[in-house]
Amino acid sequence: MAILDRIGTILRANINDLLDRSEDPEKMLDQILRDMQSAIADARSQVAEMIAQQRMIEADVQRTTDLRDQWEAKAKAAVQQNRDDLARQALQRKADYQKNLDLYTQQLATQEALVQKLKDDLSQLEFKYDDAQRRHSELINRSRRAQAQQKVLEQSQKLDTRDPMSELARMEDKIRSQEAQVGAMEDLQKNTLDAQFEALETSDDVEADLARLKGEVATGPSDTKKSGSAPAYPS
């Protein structure tokens, strides 16, 4: 029966496992409670229907038993009056009712077993529902704590994937590059200034050397005549 299958599925379901597999445990728990409420209502209706059928079968058993006993009494009365023909007919009717009684008795046993199973399943479902209601807040809090812990772990894993030492080394390289650039600029400025002073010093030396040559040239002819030789000029 569909109701038994539905109840069996809910009873076999582990609420904790369902919550673990659910993306939204709070919604899942609310849905579980709604499913339980619906199943309990259906089960109660089914149990009531099965009990009604059981009582109808019980009535059939009682009625058939009474008829069987009545024909038993009629057969006995016919025998007492030496009416074997009527006794045989009465006993035949009794046998027919006995067959019906056996059938009704089997049906009643089956129905009683079914009703008992439905009652047991309903009782278990009601207990599980009451337990789920009592644990509702606890389960929700556990779910929220688990979600919070999961987020912390995810953030921690993200941090773990980045090596702090490599980050420090990268920053150090960047700083060294900046320092090198600053040093290069300072050296460039210094070299430029030194070059200017060197150029200035070189200019002074050239002027002094030029003045020396002019002086030699100015005094040169008299000295040449004295020495009796002509100065050699580059051709």
- E strand intervals along 54-184: none
pLDDT band, very low/low/confident/very high, at 35 (cuts 50, 70, 90)? confident
**Distance, CA of 213 to CA of 206 (rounded, Å):** 10
Residue 17 has pLDDT above 70, yes or no: no
Return d(Cα 175, Cα 170) in angstroms, integer.
Answer: 9
Do the Cβ atoms of 73 and 91 come closer than 8 Å?
no
Sequence-distant (6+) residues with CB within 8 A of 138 are none
More confident residue, 50 or 31: 50
Which of 14, 13, 3 is closest to 40 using CA atoms? 3
- Lookup result for tokens 């019980």: 58
Compute CA 190 distance to the chain's CA centroid, rounded to the nearest angstrom: 66
Report the alpha-carbon distance of residue 203 to residue 211 in Å, rounded.
12
CB 13 within 8 A of CB 125: no
8 A C-beta contact, residue 11 and residue 124? yes
Alpha-helix residue ranges (DSSP H) falling in the chain: 2-12, 15-21, 25-80, 84-134, 136-160, 164-227
What is the reported pTM?
0.51
Report the alpha-carbon angle 102-103-106, nearest 5. Answer: 85
Query: How much is the average pLDDT of 17-45?
Result: 76
Cα dihedral value 77, 80, 86, 92, nearest 10: 70
User: At residue 218, does pLDDT exceed 70?
Assistant: yes
* Structural tokens at position 182: 């600053």
Share of the chain above pLDDT 90, in %: 29
Amino acid at 226: K
Give the DSSP H/E element, type plus range, for residue 121: helix 84-134
Q: Are 25 and 140 in contact (CB under 8 A)?
A: yes
Cβ atoms 61, 104 nearer than 8 A:
yes
Query: How large is the average pLDDT for residues 1-28?
Result: 61
Average pLDDT over residues 122-143: 80
Judged by DSSP in three states, 75 sits in helix
The pLDDT-based confidence of 225 (bands split at 50, 70, 90) is: very low
Q: Where are the domains of the chain?
A: 2-161, 164-214
- Please, what is the Cα angle at 228 between 224 and 232, to 5 degrees? 55
- Average confidence (pLDDT) over 24-53: 84
pLDDT at 194 over 80: no
Between the two ends of the chain, the Cα-to-Cα distance in Å is 132
Locate the DSSP E strands across 86-125: none
